[in-house]
């Protein structure tokens, strides 16, 4: 009975949030910018045609860098807006749990990102027209990109829950996401080598969004990578819950 109630609640919040994306210009602006940016990176900077290869590497490699600015923008309003409008008081005095509210919002935003991702389908057809790509790899890469989007989003929803200012939420989550992307890169690890214990350096390098993303885009859908993204999302959503429980008034 409890679970059924929860599902109904999550569904109601999910519908409201998704509707509110499409009820405002945000969704359309976002979709257009998202597609334009990805197209620009893939064709103009990534030299998609010049590389003469019918695969999707040149397309998916850009996803993390587009996500890093656009996903915090999608996520920043999720809680900050409720705090600003005061509707958070309404939401948290409804007979629903904080987890219901967080999941409803998160899934709505994730679904919205999924829709954006699906709208890149012309590229798949282009590649299919030009050559004979491995569609299995493409599918894997889409799944990987969707998971990556979810991980970014969970960071964004956490920073959004901590502040009523969407700008602060945006900046915090860009910085956090940047750290999570770059943590696998040598310069970041180098800065740790001198003083941090080896296990910490190892941990930080394993935290990188990028290393896990790259293996998926190569067509290897490893359970460990999926588990990694799932645990990142669970972790940040859990932190979101803790923040909301503790910062109800201000």
By CB under 8 A, which span of 8-16, 146-154, 168-176, 222-230 interacts with another protein?
8-16
Residue 172 Cβ, how far from another protein at the closest point, in Å? 24
Task: State which residue, 97 or 205, has the beta carbon closest to another protein.
Answer: 97
Residue located via tokens 């409201």: 16
Task: State which residue, 5 or 134, has the beta carbon closest to another protein.
Answer: 5
Site size with another protein, rule: CB under 8 A: 26
Tell me if 97 contacts another protein by CB under 8 A. Answer: yes
Tell me if 205 contacts another protein by CB under 8 A. Answer: no
Residue 71 Cβ, how far from another protein at the closest point, in Å? 21
Tell me if 7 contacts another protein by CB under 8 A. Answer: no
Task: State which residue, 7 or 230, has the beta carbon closest to another protein.
Answer: 7
Tell me if 95 contacts another protein by CB under 8 A. Answer: yes
Tell me if 217 contacts another protein by CB under 8 A. Answer: no
Task: State which residue, 55 or 82, has the beta carbon closest to another protein.
Answer: 82
Catalog residues that contact another protein under the rule CB under 8 A. 5, 8-9, 11-13, 15-16, 19-20, 23-24, 85-90, 92-97, 248-249
């Amino acid at each position: 009975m409890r679970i059924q109630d929860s599902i109904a609640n999550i569904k109601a919040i999910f519908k409201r949030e998704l509707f509110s994306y499409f009820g405002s210009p945000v969704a359309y602006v976002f979709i257009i910018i998202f597609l334009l940016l990805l197209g620009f990176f893939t064709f103009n900077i990534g030299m998609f045609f010049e590389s003469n290869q019918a695969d999707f590497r040149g397309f998916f490699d850009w996803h993390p860098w587009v996500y890093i600015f656009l996903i915090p923008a999608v996520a920043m309003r999720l809680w900050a807006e409720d705090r600003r409008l005061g509707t958070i008081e309404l939401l948290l005095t409804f007979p629903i749990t904080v987890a219901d509210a967080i999941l409803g919002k998160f899934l709505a935003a994730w679904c919205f990102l999924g829709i954006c991702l699906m709208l890149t389908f012309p590229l798949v057809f282009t590649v299919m027209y030009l050559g004979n790509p491995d569609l299995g790899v493409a599918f894997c890469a889409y799944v990987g990109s969707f998971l990556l989007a979810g991980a970014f989003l969970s960071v964004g929803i956490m920073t959004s829950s901590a502040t009523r200012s969407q700008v602060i939420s945006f900046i915090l989550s860009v910085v956090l996401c940047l750290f999570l992307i770059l943590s696998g890169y040598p310069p970041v690890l180098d800065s740790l080598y001198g003083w941090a214990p080896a296990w910490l350096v190892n941990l930080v390098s394993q935290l990188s969004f990028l290393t896990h993303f790259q293996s998926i885009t190569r067509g290897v859908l490893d359970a460990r990578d999926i588990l990694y993204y799932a645990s990142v999302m669970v972790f940040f959503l859990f932190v979101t819950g803790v923040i909301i429980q503790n910062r109800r008034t201000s």
